[in-house]
Structure 1
């Protein structure tokens, strides 16, 4: 239909619609333009931000590089300075340690010399009127004394028939028990009259833990010169009261400034062994030849269950037939006599004393060496003074003891070393010997 034929009012409506549509479209175009401009502006701003961020990143990178090359040398310089400082301190500590070690060695040597010159244990009574092999064999080496088969018959001493009979009674008791006396040594000293009797008493034999009384005397002499007394005294006490091998090893190391360890080359071992042998020098001037340089094994805390390394070297490198500690029953009796008569060794006497009235030697919970069971003290009255040190291995049995009644009428020292597995296995022989000797000595 043609619009011209429409009424006028209709034409006006059409015109108004056209005008309205035009305005809307214009508005829409304007809005689109605004939106486009807004988006463009946003895009431009975003682009600017990204460019700025990239610029800042580049700047941060350059700053890091700059800081790295600036600060790193400072750190290196500081590290070098600290290293030099620490190195100097370490050198100073090493020098101080070396000086301390040298001082300790010098002090040790001074102790040895002082002890050798000043240690004067009382001699056995009546030695001036007896021919003592202590002096006769002082300048002989250990091997020669060991090999001398006539040593047993060369003792010319004051005779005491009653004391000799006691020793003969001991020998007879052993023989009747089916035990050989070939490797047996006995020393009996009557403290009240100052006379001793013996059987093979100057023969050097393996002492087992009896050697610890020699280390005890040396330690007591040296103790006032040391600083770490508490730990050392604790080890000394355990060495005697419990016969603890780890503690005795500690005492030996402390006395000689040595340690156990791997084998040493010839030069190092020579120096190390001389330190160990300083123990012999302490006693040799008065006691003659002896060897008390070897630790007692096993040492469970140090994981040494047999001699190894330098300790094995000291024994000649032999396990089956090694060089071992060697002392005689006479020497042991002499030392015990010094301990009980010299006020300077009252602490040693205390450590060696067992109160038979209060010590329950039958207690099965005792987890250390029992100083009474199967030994001298087992068969003795409980109301006596008993000062002793014993040793026992699968091949030997040894003991030295000072035994005295409370009234002082009976006082004697008995030392017996038996290097025979039969004595080691026989748990009754030492108590039987001790009982007989006490009865005979009490009736004199």
Structure 2
């Protein structure tokens, strides 16, 4: 924060005006005294004076020196007062400000780092992919920024991450800034479910689903259902939103497992420990009890945060069969798959195609997998796009952390088409 400079003294301050008037009267007095001194000096060079005249001269001289002394006292007092008016703001600003302490979580945007225990399950891909920066891809990313500008959308609230899978290259725009991810967190919870099933920490039927999509996992990914997501996060962390006879710190330690799972693999400062609301079966429109308490200071609450780069990395690891295992990655990619046929997705009023990347690719014939997020204040999507022959294969992530993106239902389809048309001619 830039320090605020102290304001100059107000020239119309009545105290200053009063002092200036006193100074003017003092100046007039001293001029009068000086005239009297001059007259007395004129008498002093006359012929030798009598004793009476000498005594009068001494008296007048003493009066002259007394007037001069008084004038200097007044002048110095006025000078000190004016100087104090100038210096006072600096003196006050240099004093420490005492504020009422505010209890807030540390840090205020994410829970404190907690290293995973030696026996605790962690994500299997420990380091980010080794990708090469591409100026050619960067030109595409820059074009997306210009597209947002042309729509009068705030670019400081925009993050972009683009990976060309075949060329192992990337480009980005503000991709490392942690942003609120909305339902993109469900992509991460899905990966953790498959990891726990393969580690025999969850029953095998946790990942079962069919065309009816009745299971929690299918509802979590296909329909982004918050109730199913609540059940999944409870199972992953051995917690519940309605705890009974538990210690909050123990409960919080278990809930933070999901953060440690990814942070131990280089997903630095990621936070995916908060549930999405509303949750129908809990009759909760917003966080309550310990779900609310874990957010800390309500003026600056801890919220989920993911960077566009982290979302792109996880989708890349799924698409390249590295997440958990080849089999798990293939099954997750199948869950994330979207049918771009308008006759199919338009049947669902809450489909993840309209207003998102898929709508811009309905006639492209691509294989498309994605996870979207949307709130009244933001719009997000991470997607894997591949042509049937595999010549085109890329990951695109866009986070628009502003109501301007939330309310714009054409920008994401236009972004998607812009990228596809330029990647296919590379």
Does residue 1:418 correspond to 2:400, yes or no? yes
Identify the residue that residue 351 of structure 2 maps to in structure 1.
370
* Counterpart residue number, 1:246: 227
CA contact 2:116–2:260 (8 Å) conserved in 1: no
Q: 1:170 aligns with which of 144, 158, 182?
A: 144
Alignment of 1:388-427 (within 5 A): 388-427=370-409
Question: Distance between the aligned counterparts of 2:220 and 2:276, measured in 1?
Answer: 11
Equivalent in the alignment of 1:214: 188
- Corresponding pairs, count: 298
Aligned residues of 1:357 and 1:383 also touching (Cα < 8 A)? no
Cα distance, 1:112–1:317 mapped onto 2, change above 3 Å: farther
The corresponding residue for 1:278 is 257
- Residue 362 of structure 1 and its aligned partner are, at CA, apart by 2.3
Query: What is the CA-CA distance between 1:345 and the residue it aligns to?
Result: 1.3
Q: Contact 1:279–1:292 at 8 Å: present in 2 too?
A: yes
- Structure 2 gaps of 5+ residues are 1-114, 209-214
Say whether residues 1:332 and 2:311 are aligned partners: yes
Is 2:145 the partner of 1:161? no
- TM-score normalised by the chain length of structure 2: 0.66
Distance 1:162 1:110, change over 3 A: closer
- Between the aligned partners of 1:429 and 1:389, the Cα distance in structure 2 is 17
Q: Distance in 2 between matches of 1:357 and 1:340?
A: 22
- Preserved contact between residue 374 and residue 406 of structure 2 (Cα < 8 Å): yes
Counterparts of 2:133 and 2:169, CA distance in 1: 8
**Cα deviations by residue, 1:307-336 (Å, 9 ceiling, x for unpaired):** 011000111152x64211001010111000
* 1:387 counterpart = 2:369: yes
* CA-CA distance at 1:189 after TM superposition: 0.6
Q: Which moved more, 1:420-429 or 1:277-286?
A: 277-286
Cross-structure match for 2:284: 304
CA, structure 1 residues 426+255, in 2 after alignment: closer, same or farther (shift >3 Å)?
same
Match of 1:119 in 2: 124
* 1:334 partner SS: helix
Deviation at 1:229, TM superposition (A): 4.1
Q: Aligned in 2, Cα 1:227/1:307: closer, same or farther, shift over 3 Å?
A: closer
Equivalent residue of 2:262, what SS?
Answer: helix
SS at structure 1 position matched to 2:121: helix
Determine the C-alpha separation between the residues in 2 that align with 1:341 and 1:113: 27
**Aligned position for 1:356:** 340
Distance (whole Å) between structure 2 residues aligned to residue 200 and residue 110 of structure 1: 29
Contact 1:263 / 1:309 at 8 angstroms: preserved in 2?
Answer: no
Return the structure number with greater helix share: 1
Q: Structure 1 residue runs of 4+, over 6 Å off?
A: 109-112, 262-265
Counterpart secondary structure, 1:345? helix
> How far 1:409 moved relative to its partner?
1.2
Shift of 1:111: 9.9
SS at match of 1:182: helix
CA deviation string 1:205-237 (max 9, x = no partner): 000000101000000011241564446641111
Residues 355 and 382, structure 1, Cα contact 8 Å, conserved in 2: no
Structure 1 residues 249, 394: closer, same or farther in 2, change over 3 A?
A: same
Structure 2 distance, partners of 1:376, 1:299, is: 27
On the 8 A contact 2:339/2:345 being kept in 1, the answer is no
Once the two structures are TM-superposed, the CA of residue 115 in structure 1 deviates from its matched residue by 2.7
Q: Compute the displacement of 1:354 (Å).
A: 0.9
CA, structure 1 residues 425+321, in 2 after alignment: closer, same or farther (shift >3 Å)?
Answer: farther
Structure-2 residue corresponding to 1:259: 240
Helix, strand or coil: the match of 1:279?
Answer: helix
Using the TM superposition, name which of 422-431 and 354-363 deviates more: 354-363
2:179 matches 1:205: yes
RMSD: 2.3
Whichever of the two has the greater Rg, that structure is 1
Is residue 218 of structure 2 the alignment partner of residue 237 of structure 1? yes
- CA apart distance, 1:112: 8.5
In 1, the alpha carbon distance for the partners of 2:118 and 2:232 equals: 15
Asked whether the equivalents of residues 135 and 171 of structure 2 are also in contact (C-alpha less than 8 Å), the reply is no
How far apart, CA to CA, are the structure 2 residues paired with 1:316 and 1:263? Answer: 21
Q: CA deviation at 1:382?
A: 4.7
